[in-house]
Structure 1
Amino acid sequence: MSVSPRRLRVGAIALAALVTASSTACSAGGSGGNGNGGTAKTLTINTSFVLKTLDPGRIYEATGLTAVHSLYDTLLTFKGSDVSKPVPALAESYEASADAKTFTFKLREGVKFSDGSPLTADDVVFSLNRLKNVKASPAVMVSGLTVAKTDERTVVVTSATADPNIPVVLAMPSTGVVNSKVAKENGATDAADAAKSDTAQQYLDKNSIGSGPYVLKSYDPSAQVVLEANPNYWGTKPEFGRVVLRNMDVQTQKLTMQRAGGSEIALDISGKLLEGLPGSLKTSAMQDTVYFLFLNADPAVSPVTSNAKFNQALRAAIDYEGIAGLYGKGAAPGAGLVAPAYPGALPASEQSKRDVAKAKALLAEAGLTNPTVKFNYPAITYKGVDLGTVATKVQGDAAEAGIKLELTPQPLTTFLDEMRTGKMALGFTPQSLNYPVADSLINNMSPGQATALRSGWTVERADPAVVAAGKKVTETLDLAARATAMQEWQRAMNAASPYIVLASNSSTVVASGDLTGTDYTAAGWQVDLAAVGRE
């Protein structure tokens, strides 16, 4: 299997867009429970906007994914919070070849676009080819795919390499099917030169041309996005006739939810920020983010952090339970690089534990006495937690074992720039996935890959057992067996990689007590707007 490294939001790179969003202010919008013209119930979604476009061929940011998921149907989807197995959407069924290279989708009958015209195999082929050829950020998911139809209801997707995760890819919002006729009339093309010749984004930011449960009513990327129920929707019609996504900073989200009268959701309240919320509110959370240290494996950068015994000493010195406590509700001590929300995560029984005596012994074996290391981290608050607080805790834990860490807080951009140089001795960052395939980590964090090289971790410096464990994952085509192989890879990484996983933390949906169907999903769209109902 070949997975593009850009499918993974590794470390602080993932922070850039999210941190920018955290500085946004509350904007005016519709209020929960109010009708649209007195006839339609309104659902209000409060979130710090991370939004650049609603063009499915270019969508990559969190807020856009939430909206696009409800505007454009995909071949497959996920139900609720379960991201272990895609379920039918536009495709009523599909078959995969034994070599995991060919996937045949049978389209359901009677599906119409929001303008009433029928959805055909041609629309699917056009949409996926456009996504590939526009070459925006999400195109990496389909760059190795070829799409064709065999008849009006059958679409065949062929992968250049064996990839059992193609069904998951085809559940992502960026693979949403557009009305190809209308799209072409407004500048869209699926031609090989679409990256230059496609001019449809401006139209698609103002108009939706999908078959999803909602249609776009208005779009203001700085203030709010309004959706209305699609009168031609082929599936179960959503209970709310109108959805308003409001741009609101997280502190204002908390204040708003504390006095929410009904039919209101907040998407950014998590961890310590959950404290003090009324018991009448509903929460749904999944541990989809891990926080880890990375030590430089290049002796020329740091003879201390590149020492394998020092690595294991620092690993043993850390109070993982105490660090998880800093994150608040929904956090847990670190186990492996795969967050618990995804198949292939290590069980809670394998969470890391502190052993200061072992740490001191390992330092002695390494021939190190009171070693000193510069410790860089981004000076920001992420998901309600000041990363400086966590870094200070790590510093204190290390000191008890005889390790001195010199805290070096940096502005985010400075941290990112220095991290990319590969010259940072010790750093700290979160990690999340763009879509629910944990084995995408292999082609980012294994030795010699993009993220690994930022820590100077080449194949030559790696334990052959780690390399072999990663290779086994990519060669395993059965998904259940692959998840097991991922666990073995993480155990090998814990034993001999430059990464130390500190904790896992949850993303949370906070909803007013009158709502149902507000499950948080790690599939990318956070909450399925059309699944939300009222008791």
Structure 2
Amino acid sequence: MSVNPRRLRVAALALAAVSTASVTACTAGSGGGGAAGPTDTLTVNTSFVLKTLDPGRVYEATGVTTTHALYDTLLTFKGSDVSKPVPELAESYEASPDAKTFTFKLREGVKFSDGTPLTADDVVFSLNRLKNVKASPAVMVTDLTASKTDDRTVVVTSAKANPNVPVVLAMSATGVVNSKVAKANGATDGADAASADTAQQFFDKTSAGSGPYVLKSYDPSSQVVLEANPNYWGGKPKFNRVVLRNMDVQTQKLTMSRSTAAEVSLDISGKLLDGLPDSLQTSGVQDTVYYLILNADPAVSKVTSDAKFRQALRSAIDYQGVAALFGKGAGPGAGLVAPAFPGTLTGEESKRDVAQAKQLLTDAGLSNPTVKFTYPAITYRGVDLGTVATKVQGDAAEAGITLELNPQPLTTFLDQMRGGKMPMGFTPQSLNYPVADSLVNNMAPGAGSALRAGWTVERAAPSVVAAGEKVVSTLDPAQRAEAMKDWQREMNAHGPYIVIANNSGMNVATSDLTGVEYTPAGWQLDLAAIGTR
């Protein structure tokens, strides 16, 4: 079974949000297979993960890519750099010392696609609607409230200290809509918006934003067509028309191998990159970690709950060899923060030491320990997870550890993982927005994912708990990133997770295109930034 690589969400322990989609290829716009098309059309091939283009409800990958081109946000990211948001609708902003109040000064001259000026009222409406509609992306803004002091000044307050508010306000779901048009078509930002707002059907047919493109047509099963916004306040996009086509990954590879048009594919990664023509260009950054989960509950497994066993297995793994299985763009594991994000453990990749692994087993009094190793029987980002699991099994055997492979269908794996009775598992993990310290709230001892691994605060080393508390209490973003490094080192030393590899999201594009840089910000590529050489 093949799984689209951009569906994973950390809040559900990576694979919990995955489902398999039936996809079809359609011909439109510039066309694949070398077919010529309009020179002003860009074609984007991707396996659709798409439910809506309503910015207050958008969460799935294809929707995020599309709405990023339709709706501007207060801040944004440029290219692959997600270390610091840059101005978009806001020309500047200030944060209070307690990280609870953020004041944004809007740039002048911004208009919606219908020519209506964008004001602070539109920003306030859009952010409060996002919060009150209470769809999936609302989790990012639950503690936020927007207000204005004048037509060009917006104040966003957080109920608790949160230095990541600027990052949140760069996400596509915070895109600003024309409030008058939205209200006329069923939208509301009231407290009852979850039941009273009926604007989704409107937003799925007509965009009401200030972005570089407007929505021309929407078919969630086959294609989405965008056209350049004639009233766009910024630089005019290079392509007048963008066609996003629903296409399975194997067809994407065949199409890109033959294409002579302006074309990009978003799902060809890992070993699937092998065999592509050298004329194609690729762009990717390591934004996904792959890790083992070792249950810390002795009632589930006396072996995996032993801290010395966990360190023995950590020492037994050939990290370079595992990374090689993932193909282009992969690297050995270091910590839970992928290299794409601030706080990663640069230059601290894990190393193999079989002699040390054997000594740790001896110290633990474990002779030829055996553990059932469960993993989802899927192909993810072009790599069969069973191949990786078999490699880990072989590495462990050299240290005297027997891993009994237990491949399971995805739904079965998820059920077992949620049940907390799995002695040992294996999963990839991606962030749903580029804030790595959100991992502390999910994977630290006593947190949601940790409890599924039987890792309570009582079973954790005090140094791990203290490191997590330091992350949460640190308000300066740069200092918080450093605290994240210390937290990961403590997690590596004492936690139930072993990060074995990092892998990259990838964009594959024809040679004539520019601006096709992959971004881990969520939208994968900036459609308006793409041009020709």
Aligned runs of 1:325-344 on 2, under 5 Å?
325-344=324-343
1:386 aligns to 2:384 (yes or no): yes
Q: Distance in 2 between matches of 1:20 and 1:258?
A: 25
1:473 aligns to 2:508 (yes or no): no
Which residue is 1:3 aligned to? none
Residues 1:123 and 1:11: Cα distance change in structure 2 (over 3 Å): closer
Counterpart amino acid of residue 104 in structure 2 = F
Q: Distance in 2 between matches of 1:17 and 1:160?
A: 28
Which residue is 1:402 aligned to? 400
Which residue is 2:203 aligned to? 204
Task: Confirm or deny: 8 A CA contact 2:24 2:222 kept in the other structure.
Answer: no
SS of 2:282's partner is: strand
The superposition leaves residues 260-296 of structure 1 with CA deviations (integer Å, 9 ceiling, x where unpaired) of: 1021000011111111111111111100000000000
Task: Confirm or deny: 8 A CA contact 1:262 1:513 kept in the other structure.
Answer: no
Number of residue pairs matched? 524
Q: Distance in 2 between matches of 1:262 and 1:283?
A: 16
Counterpart amino acid of residue 107 in structure 1 = L
Which residue is 2:163 aligned to? 164
1:264 aligns to 2:268 (yes or no): no
Task: Confirm or deny: 8 A CA contact 1:227 1:243 kept in the other structure.
Answer: yes
Task: Confirm or deny: 8 A CA contact 2:8 2:16 kept in the other structure.
Answer: no
SS of 2:437's partner is: helix
SS of 2:458's partner is: helix
TM-score, length-scaled by structure 2: 0.96
Residues 1:267 and 1:227: Cα distance change in structure 2 (over 3 Å): same
Counterpart amino acid of residue 299 in structure 1 = P
Q: Distance in 1 between matches of 2:224 and 2:503?
A: 28
The superposition leaves residues 168-193 of structure 1 with CA deviations (integer Å, 9 ceiling, x where unpaired) of: 00000000000111111111110101
Deviation, 1:28, is: 2.8
1:518 aligns to 2:479 (yes or no): no
Residues 1:505 and 1:19: Cα distance change in structure 2 (over 3 Å): farther
SS of 2:187's partner is: coil
Deviation, 1:478, is: 1.1
Task: Confirm or deny: 8 A CA contact 2:11 2:442 kept in the other structure.
Answer: no
The superposition leaves residues 447-493 of structure 1 with CA deviations (integer Å, 9 ceiling, x where unpaired) of: 00001001000000000000111111111111111111111111000
TM-score, length-scaled by structure 1: 0.96
Task: Confirm or deny: 8 A CA contact 1:12 1:430 kept in the other structure.
Answer: no
Deviation, 1:25, is: 2.9
Q: Distance in 1 between matches of 2:383 and 2:305?
A: 29
SS of 2:40's partner is: strand
Task: Confirm or deny: 8 A CA contact 2:52 2:200 kept in the other structure.
Answer: yes
Counterpart amino acid of residue 51 in structure 1 = L
Unaligned runs of 5+ residues in structure 2 are 1-6
Which residue is 2:371 aligned to? 373
The superposition leaves residues 43-84 of structure 1 with CA deviations (integer Å, 9 ceiling, x where unpaired) of: 000001111110000011110000000000000001111111
Which residue is 2:227 aligned to? 228
Task: Confirm or deny: 8 A CA contact 1:40 1:242 kept in the other structure.
Answer: no
Q: Distance in 2 between matches of 1:186 and 1:343?
A: 40
Which residue is 1:252 aligned to? 251
Task: Confirm or deny: 8 A CA contact 2:9 2:16 kept in the other structure.
Answer: no
Q: Distance in 2 between matches of 1:323 and 1:13?
A: 21
Q: Distance in 2 between matches of 1:14 and 1:395?
A: 22
1:26 aligns to 2:28 (yes or no): no
Q: Distance in 2 between matches of 1:14 and 1:118?
A: 41
Deviation, 1:18, is: 5.1
Deviation, 1:8, is: 8.6
Q: Distance in 2 between matches of 1:242 and 1:431?
A: 34
Aligned runs of 1:58-457 on 2, under 5 Å?
58-347=57-346, 349-457=347-455
Residues 1:13 and 1:459: Cα distance change in structure 2 (over 3 Å): closer
Task: Confirm or deny: 8 A CA contact 2:30 2:38 kept in the other structure.
Answer: no
**Deviates further, 381-390 or 38-47:** 38-47
Q: Distance in 1 between matches of 2:241 and 2:512?
A: 16
Deviation, 1:513, is: 0.4
Deviation, 1:400, is: 1.0
Counterpart amino acid of residue 42 in structure 2 = L
Counterpart amino acid of residue 141 in structure 2 = V
SS of 1:225's partner is: strand
Counterpart amino acid of residue 416 in structure 1 = L
Deviation, 1:10, is: 2.7
Unaligned runs of 5+ residues in structure 1 are 1-6
The superposition leaves residues 209-252 of structure 1 with CA deviations (integer Å, 9 ceiling, x where unpaired) of: 00000000000111000000000100001010000000011111
Which residue is 1:14 aligned to? 14
Deviation, 1:19, is: 4.9
Q: Distance in 2 between matches of 1:83 and 1:279?
A: 29
Task: Confirm or deny: 8 A CA contact 1:33 1:263 kept in the other structure.
Answer: no
SS of 1:459's partner is: coil
SS of 1:43's partner is: strand
Task: Confirm or deny: 8 A CA contact 1:11 1:432 kept in the other structure.
Answer: no
Q: Distance in 2 between matches of 1:30 and 1:525?
A: 21
Residues 1:18 and 1:213: Cα distance change in structure 2 (over 3 Å): farther
Q: Distance in 2 between matches of 1:266 and 1:303?
A: 46
Q: Distance in 1 between matches of 2:308 and 2:137?
A: 40
Task: Confirm or deny: 8 A CA contact 1:339 1:504 kept in the other structure.
Answer: yes
Q: What is the aligned-residue RMSD (CA, Å)?
A: 1.6
Aligned runs of 1:37-76 on 2, under 5 Å?
41-76=40-75
Which residue is 1:496 aligned to? 494
Which residue is 1:4 aligned to? none
Deviation, 1:12, is: 7.4
Task: Confirm or deny: 8 A CA contact 2:101 2:158 kept in the other structure.
Answer: yes
Deviation, 1:27, is: 2.6
Deviation, 1:15, is: 3.5
Counterpart amino acid of residue 530 in structure 1 = A
**Deviates further, 473-482 or 8-17:** 8-17
Q: Distance in 2 between matches of 1:11 and 1:311?
A: 24
Task: Confirm or deny: 8 A CA contact 2:32 2:259 kept in the other structure.
Answer: no
Counterpart amino acid of residue 191 in structure 2 = A
The superposition leaves residues 395-415 of structure 1 with CA deviations (integer Å, 9 ceiling, x where unpaired) of: 111111111111111110110
